[in-house]
Every structure is written in C-alpha cells, then in structure tokens.
Structure 1
Amino acid sequence: MSTPAQMAEVKPPTLKTVPKELEKHGDRRTDNYFWLRDRSNPEVISYLDAENKYTEAQMGDTKALQEQIYKEIVGRIQEDDTSAPVKHGEYYYFTRTMKGKQYPVYLRRKGASGPEEVLLDGNVLAAGQKYFQVGAFSVSPNQKLLAYGTDTSGDETFTVHVKDLATGQPLPDQIRNAYYSVEWAADNKTLFYNVLNESKRPYKVFRHALGSAAADVEVFHEADERFEVAISKTRSRAYLLIDCDSQTTSEVWYLPADQADGKFTRLYERIQDVEYQVSDHGGNWYVRTSEGAKTFRLMQAPIAHPEARKEIIPARKDVTLEDVDTYADHLVVTERAQGLPRLLVRRFSDGQEHLVAMPEPDYTVKGGGGFEYDTPVLRFNYTSLVTPPSIFDYDMNLRQRTLVKQQAVLGGFKPENYVSERIMGKASDGTLIPISVVSRKGLVKDGSNPCLLYGYGAYGISSDPTFSAERISLLDRGFVYAIAHIRGGGDLGKPWHEAGRMLNKQHTFTDFIAAAQMLIARRYTQPKKLGILGGSAGGLLMGAVVNLRPDLFGAVVAKVPFVDLISTMMDASLPLTVGEYEEWGNPEDPKYYSYMRTYSPYDNVERQAYPNMLVTAGLNDPRVSYWEPAKWVAKLRTMKKGNNLLLLKTNMGAGHFGASGRYERFKDTAFDYAFLLKALDVSGQTASK
C-alpha cells in the first residue's frame, strides 16, 4: 500500500469559478462555487462524478485492504440473526436478518411460542431500489393493521402504506410526503401523521380515515418556522400527543386516543426557552420541564387541572433530568450525572426509589424499550466501548436483571483483550474535558500509535461510549479510539450544551483541540498518527479545527459536513435553516454574523498545509446539502499547500445517512478505514488474537 506521497499520478478534477459577491453587514465574501447549488446543471453532476472517479483512482492501491477489512467486519456479525422480541399485547414483535440480505424482515408471533408471521420483508420492498428505508412502523391497537413508511431516495420523505395483517394484503390507502411519525387512534381506523413543507420541515399533522374518499383533515399547523411537529402516544396508550419543538422551546397538545374526531388541547402555552415533555399516569401528567430549572425538574399535575402543578423531583446543579417514563406502578427517570446516564426507578405504591446499578465505570444506557404499560419489567439497552450492545429486562420490584440478548461478535473477539478508560483534557479556559478511550490491552504509550478521535458537540446530543464491532478492525491494527466529550453536546448535561452553542460555539472547537493535545501529551499518539472523525455538525467541527490547527492532525474523515455555515443560515428556504437559529444564531443579527464569520469552515479556508482529508456527501441529503462538502473540497483544492490527499466521495443515490443496506454500509466503513490506514501510514496487518 502506497503512502499519500506515493499516490497515483492522477490529476484532481478542475472546476470553473463563477464569482458571486455576497455582502452582509458591510462584510463582503466571494463565493466562486455558489453555482454548484444547481443540481439541474449537468456540469454539477459531471463534477461530482469526476470527483468520485478521482477518489476511486487515489484509493486504488487499497482495494485489497478494503476487501480484507470488509470481510473482517462481515466475519464478526451474526448474519442470520433475530432481534430480542418485544411484547405488545398478545404478540411478540421482532426482526430477522439473513445471510446475504441487505435489509431486515419484520415478524411477529402470538404468544411466546406461536407460529411466525412475516409482516414486512425489507428485501422484497427494496427490490430495484438504490436506497430503501422503513420509517414509521405502527401496529393498530387491535393488532390487525400495520401502518409503515418507506423512503426510496434517502431524502427522508416517506410514503405511508397500510397492510391488513389478517389477509397479508395492502389497503389502497397511501399517504405521501409524510415524515417519521404515524399513530393510530383507539378506533383502529384513524391515523394521525406529520407532513413536510417545501423546506422539509415537519409542520402539520393530519387525520386520515381508512377507506375514506374524503380529503385528510388538518388537525394542527405549526406556523413558526423554528418549530417541528411530531405525533406520538403515551405508554398507557390513553393519549395522543403532538410535540412542537424548537432547539430551545417546546409545547405539547393532547387528545384522548378514544376521541379520534376530537380536537387537540394545549397542555401548557409555550414560553420562549422553556422545554417540557409529558407522560401520563393515574389521572396525572408527569412533566419534565426546564421552567425555572436549566437542568430540568419533574412536576406532577392533574390532567383535569394541569395548572395545579407540584414538584416531584427538584432541579439539581450537577444532575440533568433527561427523560421521564411512566408504567402502571413505576416512574422511570433518566438522569445524567458526571457525564454518565443513569436510571432512577420510583414505585408509585409506596414511593420507594433506587438507581439501577451498572457494571462498568464508563458506559451507555437507555431505558424505555418495549410497549407494555402494566408491567414491573423495565427493558433497557446497555453498552460500553468494550461491551457489545446488550438488552436487559429489569424487574423493578425485585431489582433483578435478566440478559435478554447481547449482540454476537464472532471472529474470535474477546472483551478481555481490550481496555477502556476515561481521561481528562484541559480546555483553553481551564474547563476539564472528558475523553473516553479504548485500545487493545497492553498498549505501549510511546507516541507511536495511530489514533482516531471522534467528536460531535452540537444540539445537546451526547457522544456516549458505545461498542462497535466494526471498530475492532482499527483496534486490532494498533489504533487507539477516543471520544471527545466536548461542549455543545449534552455529555455533561444541559449546561454543557449551553456552553458550546450560539456565542459560545468556539468552545466546541477549542475543547476538541484540547482533547487531541491531551492524547498526544499522554503519548497515546502523535500528530502525524492522529486521525479525526466527525459528521454533519461534527463535520463542521472537523472543518473548524483543521482551519485552526492543521498541524495537529494526520488525517480527517468529514462525513456530510455542515461547512458552509453562513450561506446556509442566510437562506431560510433551505431545510432546517430557521430552526437552526437557536443553535448557531441568526446571521441577520450582526453580532451572530460576525461570530459565525470567525469559524465558518468554508469561509475560513486559508492558504496553508492541510492534513489528508476524506469528505463525503449525499446527493439527496435534506439536512446538509451536497454542495456544502463539494464547495468546501473545491476551495480547499485551490488553497491547500503540499501533496496530502483531498478526496470527495458523493453517494449519488442516498442522503444524510449514507447507504441503506447493511452490507453497503460495511463497504463504506471499510473504505473509510482503508483511507485512515493509508493516510496515517499504518500497516494493514492485524494483531494476533
């Protein structure tokens, strides 16, 4: 395998410049590649195709390595596998994957040992499609009908179908331009669903009566472009909920599920910068709210008189209340303390409460699995950097857990061969930044090891430590894998998010740089052996840090990166833009424009040496338009010094989340890993088991 310096003598694509002058608040920018936004222009598609061919040529010497890594990944998975069954009334629902098949089959059986029924076969539905995804999957209360959404382009616009599960035949009802949420009323004949506007914002909820020739009825319209709407149902199945959420504010409307033709009632009027979430139990709402509590508190309110609230769990400075769920005799609260999620269980009948014990010091746990309400059993998912995804059923009365299923990892994987730890880096303002690290046991910290550092840091989303069977292909080649728990994410609770958004966004980038410096200082790695990875808003992170410290990294993988920040945020017609104002700021305001101007990756490309870079895009991506990574790469080509790799790989038939079939996703991962090995000059040989 050749190094970047020995790469093939293939010329990168050339792209014409069409200068477009952009002016705002007295600041002038020249965008030479603004014209790439016009996908109807044949030159745009030709350019993307040319970049794909160039990338393929530059990676030609890694074909054998890609195939080797792909076989390793496939060799670790249980290709013929069945998910843990989820009980819903008399039935158990589950999925099955089969060797050689890209998509799961959706099944159920009546009782614990009844015959299996095939509900959907994703492989049949996907036949002839370049892309396929099932979105909504909602079974009617009597379990005789199934409503499900399908997307065949990757643009996250779904068509909802209804299937008669008794006959196996589809009903003529079809709902187009739908989004992810579909729910049934209790009458088994009325569906509620959300739809998209022209900018791909879910903004309305409609009611559909099966078999009716009448037009569907609009039951809710959210006019504020900062907000998105979704339809859901409480665990008790008693209420339908319309959740209206912006980045910082929320509002809930409810309707008894047995009143399909009724009107939704607003629970609490929205208050700017107040978020709340509800669950019902015994005539009461349980309301998780940020009103008067940045880290959230829990309130109880009678459904008949929701204004009569009382506090159940107060706000705590160092603990963020992240989620609330109610069962017939138990309240389950997900909290985050010291960067780790935890499950608090309180019994309604006597008020006793306890934390569910976890076996490792650095882990990820998520409760709320399953449909059942009248049960003492909490299903939760558990994983860590060394523990494969595991599903437990936890008896909340007996405080006993049962392992239902753990992801099988074949190919000789032994958890004891790997070690995880959590270290701390110090940001430029003195804040301590947690870093989760995993490597093979016995790693020598002499600075020679290759390392991949992952970061995201936006929207209050936590980058929790999870297991990846694919990642073993890196660890077994001597890699250290690390996660930087940087501000902007929710890793240390809501205040952590607040400290890395809007006019605090630079903290996200300097935190990530501090994490990289700590890994180098502790001699896990060195700059030329350090690769970094981020996608979407994490791709913006990649762009920002390579502009600031290109010398600190040897390779960058930027997946569908949000790098053209200012131009995107100034175009309210684009998907998601207006809703993003509360995360990044509105550039119509000079103070936010000026601040964005300091870090927008596309606008801050400099004439300097950049690391080896692999940038990906999706032609049908509704979240980060393909032209953002394409423009970024084109500008980098004209500005960067040196001969380091700069590759653009566009999936011409998918969107934000890449290939939909599991084997195609494995090939994409093998490609990314081969790029890292090549760019960091790492041997393709694996360590002995």
Structure 2
Amino acid sequence: MNYPETKKVEHTDEYFGTKVADPYRWLEDDRAEDTKDWVQREVAFTQNYLNQIPFREEIRAQLKNIWNYEKISAPFKEGDYTYFYKNDGLQAQSVLYRTDKNGNTEVFLDPNKFSEKGTTSMSGLSFNKKGTLAAYNISEGGSDWQKIVIINAITKQKIDETITDVKFSGASWLGDEGFFYSSYGKVQGSELSVKTDMHKVYFHKLGTKQSEDKHIIGDENFKRRYMNIGVSDDERFLILSAATATNGNELYVKDLKNNTDWIAIQKGYDYNTDVLDTKGDFIYIMTDKNAPNMKLQKFDIKNPSVWTDVIPETENVLSASTGGGYIFAKYMKDAVSYMKQFDYNGKLIREITLPGIGTASNIGGKETAKELYYSFSNYITPGTTYKFNVETGTSEIYQKPNVKFNPEDYVSEQVFFTSKDGTKVPMMISYKKGLKLNGKNPTILYGYGGFNISVTPNFSVVNAIWMENGGIYAVPNLRGGGEYGKKWHVAGTQMQKKNVFEDFIAAGEYLQKNGYTSPEFMALSGRSNGGLLVGATMTMRPDLAKVAFPGVGVLDMLRYNKFTAGAGWSFDYGTAEDSKEMFEYLKSYSPVHNVRKGVCYPSTMIITSDHDDRVVPAHSFKFGAELQEKQSCNNPALIRIEVNAGHGAGRSTDQVIGENTDLMSFALYEMGIKELKK
C-alpha cells in the first residue's frame, strides 16, 4: 500500500515525568494548509481503493432501492394545527407539514431548501404555548454550532433577526414575549476545535437585536460547561439545569408566580435529576439519587427539600413521559421495553400491551390529548407508529412503513455471554433464516458502551441489506451503557473502562466459538465513543477480526479534553492530568498510542467528517497516520473523510447512503467475497 506521505514532527508532552511523543500534532490544526493538503490526498487515496471493489455500485443500488419508501412521523398538535414530518423516500431531509382544522395540508418548513446539497438540517423546533410563534434551529454541515430562526407560525414569515453562536440549546418560550437559549458566545480560533467550557443563558425578547439579549446566568462566578433554562408547561416555573460533565447536574427552580429567586433543588454533580412536569405547587422529578435505576418523585415548591416517591425504583431502569393527564413509565429489561400507565399520584392504571419484543418510544403529548402516539421497532421489525387511547389503553396501527423487507424471513435472538471477569452480558444476533453456522458468515459486531446510553433493538434498512446479502448483525449491551442502570454505566468508566473492551472481545469470541463466524469474516464497528471501542479493541486484539470501522472516534485519550466539549466527557474517561495512575491507564489503551510496528492490524476504514466539532477529526487523522506508518501486512488502513458533514446528525440521505455503501462493500471485499449472492 503506497500511502500518501505524512510528515512527522519533533513534539513531546510530559505527564508526571513521562515523555510522550506526538509526531502528528500538526494534524490537529484543521485550518492549516498542510493539513488541508493531507486531507485531500487521503480522500483521493481512499476513493481510488474503494473504486476497485466490483460490487460497490450494486450495493449502492440495493441501499437506494430499500431506502426509497415514504417515512412519516407521529403527529403533534401546536395551536390550531397538527404537524408531522415526512420524507418521500430519498429526499435529503424530511419535510415538516401541517394540517388545519378543515383537513387542508401544506408544507410548513422544508429543510431541503436551506442549502443546495441538503447538508443544512433542522435540528430543533419549539413553539410558544399558543402555537402562534416558532423558533427552529439549523445546523450547517452537521455542526454543533447552530442558528435559531424565528417565525410567525401562522404566516410562516420570518419575524426577527436570526440568533447565532448557539450550541447545545433549543429555544424555550415564555409567553409571546421571547425565549431562553444558551450560547458559548463568539469563539476565538477555529470553531471546529476550540474548547467550549462556559455556557451562558440569555433571554431574547422579540423585536430586539441579539446584542441586546438579557444575560440571565453564566459567568466566572457561576461557570458551568452545560446550562439550559426550560419553562414549565403552565409557564409558572423556570427550571435551570447546570452541569460540568455529561453525568450529574445541579437543579434550580424560579417561581415566577411568587417572584422568588433561584431555589436550589440539587447542588453538586453526584446525581442526575430532571423535571418531568409540574402540577400546581408540585414539581415532579426523575432522579437517580439513592436510585441507580431511576425513580419518579415530587416535592412542594413551598418545601423543596422533602421529596416523596410517585413511582419507586424497581430492578429495571425507568424513563417517564406525560400526556393525556397521565404518566407513562417505560422500563427496560435486558435492553427490551415494557410500559405502564399511572396517574399523578402514582396509582397504576394499567400495564400497556406492546406489539412485541423490542423498543418502544415514550408515549407522550399534550395534557388535554385523548390520543397519544408511540413507535415500536426491533432489528427485524420496521419502525411502526401506534395510536394509543389514554382511557381504554388500546393501541392501533397509525402508520406502517411500506419497506421492501419481510420480517418473517429473518431471526433476531438474544443470547447471554460471559465476559473476562465473569460478568453476564446480553447480545442480540440477527440474520436471515436458513443461515448455516459454519463460521463463514460475514458478521458486523457493533457496540457503544458508554455515557449511560442504552443500545436497544431498532430496525435499520442498512442492516436489512447486510442480512439480505448473507450477513449477521450482532449487538452486545456492553458495560458503560445504561441498560442496567447507574451501576452498569459506572462499571465501564475511568479506571474500569477496559471492562467495555473486554465485553466486546468476549462478544466476538462467543460468535466465533458458536459457529456464527470466524476472525476472517468479522468486522468491528462503532461510532464516537464506539469508535474508541473499535480502536482500543483492534489494538488490544488485532487478531479478533478481519475488518475494523472506528467511526468519528475518540482515539487520542491523552488530549481529547483539549477540544470543543471534550472536557465534559471526563466522568466517563478521566483525564491524563487527573493523576499519574489515570494517565498511565489512559495511555495503556489510547488507540493513537498503542499502534505498534510489526503487527498485522485488521483491514481498517477510519471514518470522520471535516466539520465534526464534537469529536474533532484530528483523532482520526492521527490514528490513521500511525496505522499507515506501522501496518505490517497488506491489510489496508484507509481514512474516509466526509465533506460538509459533522458528527453524524443532520447528514443528507445521499451522504448516509454513500457512507454505508462504502462500509458494506469494504467489509465484504476485505473478507474475500468476490461477488454478491444472487
């Protein structure tokens, strides 16, 4: 493999007396000409390699064909209109429609008109209580930096100047006056990589300039990395959530009716507590305080330190939503959903019968609604929307997608395997019926394992095509996720992070030992924190799989906290500055620092985007440079760089199809497959 030349520089950092070389430090400067030149050469090299795959265009055609079906969201009511999203099939972005009381339907917002190639997306939308005003976020090229556009919801006309420099924030309306939003302000340096650590909350009054917006909170005296103000549904309370990391938050409430100052409900970052709803003087909160699997409690604003149970903690993880005057409790048992309906006093109304074993979205809607909506899906059932009657508890199909896929032809089974330290871990394995367990089936092992995020069964047309071509799709529920509550999450953080990699390795070994696949036919896949998972696993166990896809990954564990919002991930990872012990632990698995000469690594396609300001592309660039320099066998080390895209959200349909075409065709090609099964 004659890779593009990558220069090396003399650069070392010192941590607790240990010098660490960083020869590709220059690739961190996304604005430098030599970085741009290197990116262009890598893009060309990767495309040249992928162009030689004989069935690449066949896979693209298969994906386009299955993708081309009408996708309609659950409806939601705002003011006198009912809104819903629809994508005709291959549109770059879904269009927002609305229907009036007379049944007339029209386009409300079409994000496909925001940019020429469909790479500007609508990433948030909020209405005032009357439904007469709306504010929507737009993201250009997938960036976390966004703008808020303000319109008259009746006429659809823009009515104010666009709010800029918004990040990790929507708009929370207070009457017809204006809304709260959060911003890090104008940054000095590259928007794609500069560190953001002081969130500020502002109130924008309609008809005024952004420069006149009232600064509510957030400065050197109250410095928090993430802050948002929400307005309660009855518009009586302002609710402020403040945090320094992605886990644990402070909670403050301001009573507008009684004109109080901020009342501290929870200080410090030991727990996660969020407001679900308010009823008169009572505020309902979801919390993991003394409840690792979450519980619903309430308190009286006149006595905010006394919290009482509404829905107590159980052995299964709880999430909750509201609608139709009820509370809906969704539980997760072994990563699968079940649901119950309660009144506001915590009295059980009924257990809700779901359509099958899989993932249900939360049931939710306005308090006055008699009918609410939820969706249901699993790895072999396309996402179907159901209409739920709050009084009878019955569900009926509202919208079933017409996908060219027959679930009857496929199997999705759950197994449990044992990790290195004896922990039992669940995994879903999906494939076409009639598959022979002869160790020769192309298999994608996909994982995440972090940030309390649960990977639950969901349908994907990409996986449908993979299975249609004889592939197996396997997803283990690794530690670090939220599938079994806080304890499961913490067991995959900081000095226990390697548990996640060991779980992933054990999942791969289970599949190989039981005849599903073998190392020559297995691909490792994951994105973001899952990209770290793949990078760490392939450097720890290069013999485990033939192919590796570290996607938009956190790959330099010594410097991840220096960029954008990276410092906020320290609860999960720890940082190299914390202690000598933490530094040594991070260095022992950091993918960039563990590529060794003389080792044969899997055929690798590193995936990143030029506008990723969540996990900066430098992670992928440096890891790719290390692999290309040190790979000892003929397995390629490619870097696939998407242009005009960010961390993943908001990409156009064409971009998503393009990436998955390359992933699937590269995996099969590297596994020695010459042509697709007919």
Counterparts in 2 of 1:478 and 1:609: CA distance versus 1, 3 Å: same
Taking the aligned partners of 2:586 and 2:224, their CA distance within structure 1 comes to 19
Q: Does 1:133 align with 2:133?
A: no
Please state if 1:440 is matched with 2:432: yes
Q: Distance in 2 between matches of 1:168 and 1:329?
A: 31
| Aligned twin of 2:593 | 603
CA apart distance, 1:207: 0.4
User: Do residues 483 (structure 1) and 475 (structure 2) align?
Assistant: yes
Alignment of 1:50-65 (within 5 A): 50-62=41-53, 65=55
Worse-superposed segment, 285-294 or 250-259: 250-259
Residue of 239, 242, 256 corresponding to 2:240: 242
Aligned counterparts of 2:173 and 2:100: Cα–Cα separation in 1: 23
TM-score between the two structures when normalised by the length of structure 1: 0.91
Q: Structure 2 vs 1, CA of residues 190 and 256 (structure 1 numbering), >3 Å: closer, same or farther?
A: farther
Q: Which one of the candidate residues 552, 569, 572 is aligned to 2:544?
A: 552
2:391 matches 1:393: no
- Equivalence for 2:305: 307
**Does 145-154 or 439-448 show the bigger shift?**
145-154
Letter in 2 for 1:96: K
Matching residue of 1:471: 463
How far the C-alpha of 1:552 sits from its partner, in A, is: 1.0
What's the CA shift for 1:121? 1.4
Q: Structure 1 CA distance, aligned partners of 2:345 and 2:325? A: 6
Q: Which moved more, 1:515-524 or 1:199-208?
A: 199-208
Instruction: Answer yes or no: is 1:518 the counterpart of 2:510.
Output: yes
In structure 2, what is the Cα distance between the partners aligned to 1:156 and 1:554?
A: 34
Instruction: Report the Cα offset of residue 349 of structure 1.
Output: 7.3
Once residues 179 and 260 of structure 2 are traced to their aligned partners in structure 1, the CA distance between those partners, rounded to angstroms, is 14
Post-superposition shift, 1:140?
Answer: 2.4
Amino acid at match of 2:394: Q
Aligned partner of 2:283 in structure 1 is 285
Distance 1:154 1:515, change over 3 A: same
Per the normalisation by structure 2, the TM-score is 0.93
The answer on 1:632 being equivalent to 2:623 is: yes
1:252–1:378: structure 2 CA closer, same or farther, 3 Å change rule? farther
Gaps in structure 1 of 5+ consecutive residues: 1-9
How many equivalent residue pairs? 664
Partner of 2:30: 39
Q: CA offset at residue 441 of structure 1?
A: 0.7
Contact 1:185 1:258 in 2 (8 A): no
Q: 1:105 to 1:599 in 2, by over 3 A?
A: same
Counterpart position of 1:365: 360
Task: Indicate how the Cα distance of structure 1 residues 146 and 329 shifts in structure 2: closer, same or farther if over 3 A, else same.
Answer: closer
Match of 1:185 among 173, 179, 197: 173
Q: 1:90 aligns with which of 80, 104, 119?
A: 80
Q: Which is worse superposed, 329-338 or 543-552?
A: 329-338
Amino acid at match of 1:244: A
Instruction: Determine the structure 2 residue equivalent to 1:585.
Output: 574
| Worse-superposed segment, 474-483 or 95-104 | 95-104
Cα contact 1:440–1:475 (8 A) shared by 2: yes
**Match 1:270 to one of 262, 267, 274:** 267
Deviation at 1:551, TM superposition (A): 0.6
Match of 1:188, as an amino acid?
A: D
The residue number in structure 1 matching 2:149 is: 161
Flag the 1:349–1:271 CA change in 2: closer, same or farther, 3 A: closer
Q: Distance in 1 between matches of 2:257 and 2:401?
A: 39
Q: 1:100 to 1:446 in 2, by over 3 A?
A: closer
Task: Structure 2 unaligned segments of length 5 or more: list them.
Answer: 188-194
Q: Distance in 1 between matches of 2:517 and 2:381?
A: 24
The equivalent of 2:21 in structure 1 is 30
Match of 1:5 in 2: none
Alignment partners' CA distance in 1, 2:373 and 2:234: 16
- Rounded to whole Å, the distance in 1 between the matches of 2:465 and 2:624 is 28
Deviations 1:440-460 (A, max 9, x none): 011111111111100110101
Distance 2:494 2:356 in 1: 35
Counterpart of 1:383 (choices 377, 389, 392) is: 377
Determine what percentage of the aligned residue pairs are the same residue. 25
**1:74 CA drift (Å):** 2.1
Deviates more, 1:100-109 or 1:668-677: 100-109
Residues 1:77 and 2:67 are matched in the alignment: yes
Q: Do 1:134 and 1:151's aligned partners in 2 also have CA atoms closer than 8 Å? A: yes
Letter in 1 for 2:113: V
Distance 1:168 1:359 in 2: 38
| Matched position secondary structure for 2:162 | strand
SS in 2 for 1:307: strand
Please tell me the root mean square deviation across aligned C-alpha atoms, in Å: 2.3
* 1:200 Cα offset (Å): 3.7
Counterpart of 2:325 in structure 1: which amino acid? D
State how far apart, in whole Å, the 2-side matches of 1:536 and 1:339 are: 21
Residue in 1 that maps onto 2:635: 644
- 1:685 aligns to what SS in structure 2? coil
Structure 1 Cα separation of the partners of residues 260 and 668 of structure 2 = 58
1:341 — aligned with what? 337
| CA distance, structure 1, for counterparts of residue 352 and residue 10 of structure 2 | 59
Moved more, 33-42 or 413-422: 33-42
Instruction: State the shift of 1:337 in Å.
Output: 2.8
